[in-house]
Amino acid sequence: MQNYSTLFFMVLHGVCGLIFLTSYLQLNKSQPWLTWTLKLYVAVGIVSSIIAISLQMHLLMAWIAFSFVSLTTLIMILVALVNLARSVDARYLLLAVSCSMLGLLASALSVWGVIPYTFWGFHGAEVGVVFEAMILATVLAYRLRNIERERITAQYLATHDLLTRLHNRRAFEDIAGQYLQQAENHNKPVSFIMMDIDHFKAINDNYGHHVGDQALNHIAVLLSHQQRKGDILARWGGEEIAILLPDTTLSHAIQYAEELRSLLEHNPLTVESKQIQITASFGVASGINHMDGHLDSLFRDADKRLYIAKANGRNQVAPTLDSSISA
């Protein structure tokens, strides 16, 4: 094992380098024929090494190991050169492998006496491998960071409305379902507010859809600043916004909705030095037990009361706090 382990690990190092090369440059997709060629080359290197070790032919194993590592380095450089135009990553691979090759060359020339024998010359191969690893590790770190960034972006796009940056309806329903289950298990109240912007079509018709988009964004910002910890806001669709209020009774939800209504009324949208008055109507519902706490049931109740608020003149909350107390 002492006689052959170092040589065998040299071959194994080359094999791992080729596996990394195939995955790093995604050769199985762009150049499948090359991938199969490299697999055959790897198989030949491993089988010939096993045969040499089994026959205890140390000189043959040494020749195989050094030849395999040298040829593997050249293959990696050639593959990187071929793929320079196809992949930016090939440039970093070429730089990294070049460091390893130069270090290996320095060690070989130092041992053969071609260049003066020095400590750094003798250990050039090790230094080259270290630089190779550092370069590739840095590149992989950036690649992993970009992959994670893309994953987070994709997750955000799947759960949020791009215009208002609020949750979309699907994400709202998923999160609300968890909150409602907790409310049911602990017998706690939960309230639901359905909000609709008054005369939103008139804003689009009079000022343009781009101003309508600004109005939606303006309202979302105001609501987000007023959002309490634990509340869930979502763009339900069009000009409707839904708000789930965990651990909130009906009377407190009505009071909160009234605060939101007043906030919108007293903060008009300013566009090109023009102030556009924006108001909204609110429908509020609340439930404690399983049936009343269902999101569908809460939505239906809040939606009915929303249309009552709109039918009674808009810019109001239904039910009112007084009617809720008397009821």
SS3 annotation, 208-262: CHHHHHHHHHHHHHHHHHHCCCCCEEEEEECCEEEEEEECCCHHHHHHHHHHHHH
The pLDDT of residue 272: 86
Please give the positions annotated as active site. Answer: 239
Which residues does the chain have with pLDDT short of 50?
289-293, 327
User: Are the C-beta atoms of residues 279 and 268 closer than 8 Å to each other?
Assistant: no
Domain at 169-326: CATH architecture: 2-Layer Sandwich (3.30)
User: Are the C-beta atoms of residues 207 and 261 closer than 8 Å to each other?
Assistant: no
Full-prediction pTM beyond 0.75?
A: no
- The distance from CA 7 to its chain's CA centroid, rounded to whole angstroms, is 43
The pLDDT of residue 201: 94
User: Are the C-beta atoms of residues 69 and 14 closer than 8 Å to each other?
Assistant: yes
Q: State the Cα angle at 145 between 143 and 151, rounded to 5°.
A: 105
Amino acid at 81: L
The pLDDT of residue 208: 93
The pLDDT of residue 10: 83
The pLDDT of residue 293: 45
Distance CA 160, CA 269 (A): 23
The pLDDT of residue 184: 79
Q: Give the three-class secondary structure for 143.
A: helix
DSSP 167: B
The residue whose two tokens read 């329903």 is 173
Domain segments of the chain: what residues?
Answer: 5-158, 169-326
Tokens of 290: 């399983």
